[in-house]
Amino acid sequence: MLTIYDKAGDGLKKRDAAAPAGEGSVWFDLVDPSKEEDAFVEQSIGVSVPTRAEMREIEASNRLYQEHGAHYMTTFIVYNLEAHVPSTTAVTFILAGERLVTVRYTEPKAFPLFLSRVESGDAPCSSAAAIMVGLIETMIHRTADLIERVQDDVDKLAQNLFDLDERHQKQHTQRLGMFLKHTGKQGDIVARVQESTMSMDRLLLYFYDAARGRKDDQRTLNRIDIAHRDIAALMENMRFLSNRMSFLLDATLGMISNQQNQIIKLFSVMAVMLMPPTLVASIYGMNFKFMPELDLPFGYPMAIGLMVVSGLIPFIYFKRKGWL
């Protein structure tokens, strides 16, 4: 789908789909475009629209480059933030003179939110570069909202993890497994956001140099610089979150390991306690013809008592040592 926006003062006006692009057309928004729409944009602006496979390239040189006077910038963003695990997608910005082309294959909420800001006058669109800055600012705000949600979830996770009641063994084991699963899910979200913020950080560095070379107005350059500092702050926050997630993961695994060690220790102590009674039972289970104790009237109770005493002595010893 292709949507064309015309410049209307400091705002934008959506052009009729049936009307061709005009001199005032400043933004061409391609969403899962067809070959015909790609060809139309390429013919109208004189740029080559990258394919979906080209947008997924991980090399910086294939995502941030200049071709025929146009600047191509591709970044990974996190979208569908309301889901349990948000998704990531690639968005390409093409700055060609006074026109901006955006190429995407999903519909992140950052785009309609940006248009709402434009309508309310909170996002001036005096140029193609200004439109791109406004879109990036909205994406940064959305990313910050996701980070705040992850921080809240991690806080609750940490509090619940260290407040676990170990008296109920079965529930304790089940909840540790649940915490391990939740920690892994939050870690996956953190990794996706880190990938997005690093990608946007590189894009903003390239964008600032490109805008300065294009001689865009100082106000736009200042907005790019502020956006870059915001991304740097988010990256620092993500490093802290990543370290905290690693700590929680290690703590959860440590608790599970400690619980398993307690079970193994109990089995080991029980085995040692049963060794003396087993030895006594083995001696009197031998099939020798002459065994004096077999003829005693109290031979059987004596053997049973010996087994009980030999089992109680290790139990009392372990108890005093605090091993039980």
Measured distance CA(154)–CA(144) in Å, rounded:
15
Tell me how many degrees the CA angle 199-203-204 measures, rounded to the nearest 5: 120
pLDDT at 68: 80
In order along its 324 residues, the chain shows pLDDT tens digits of 888 877 777 777 777 655 666 677 788 888 887 888 878 777 777 787 887 777 777 666 677 888 888 888 888 888 887 777 788 888 889 888 888 888 888 888 888 888 888 777 777 777 888 888 888 888 888 888 888 888 887 777 777 766 666 555 555 566 776 777 777 777 778 888 888 888 888 889 888 888 888 888 888 889 889 989 988 888 888 888 778 777 777 777 777 777 777 778 777 777 877 888 888 888 777 777 777 777 777 777 888 888 888 888 878 877 777 766
pLDDT at 193: 84
pLDDT at 58: 63
Fold annotation for 2-259:
Beta Polymerase; domain 2 (3.30.460)
Q: State whether residue 211 is helix, strand or coil.
A: helix
Burial class (CB in 10 A: 0-12, 13-18, 19+), 290: exposed
Query: What's the longest Cα–Cα distance across the chain?
Result: 118
CATH of the domain spanning 261-321:
1.20.58
Report DSSP state, residue 217.
-
Residue 108: closest CA among 79, 131, 136:
79
Tell me how many degrees the CA angle 29-60-80 measures, rounded to the nearest 5: 45
Tokens of 244: 């905290």
φ and ψ at 215, to 5 degrees? 60, 45
For the chain, domain boundaries: 2-259, 261-321
Report DSSP state, residue 27.
E
Entry pTM:
0.73
pLDDT at 55: 74
Measured distance CA(57)–CA(10) in Å, rounded:
34
Measured distance CA(14)–CA(78) in Å, rounded:
26
Strand order, beta sheet including 25-31: 11-14, 2-8, 25-31, 99-104, 87-96, 70-79, 64-67
Measured distance CA(242)–CA(234) in Å, rounded:
12
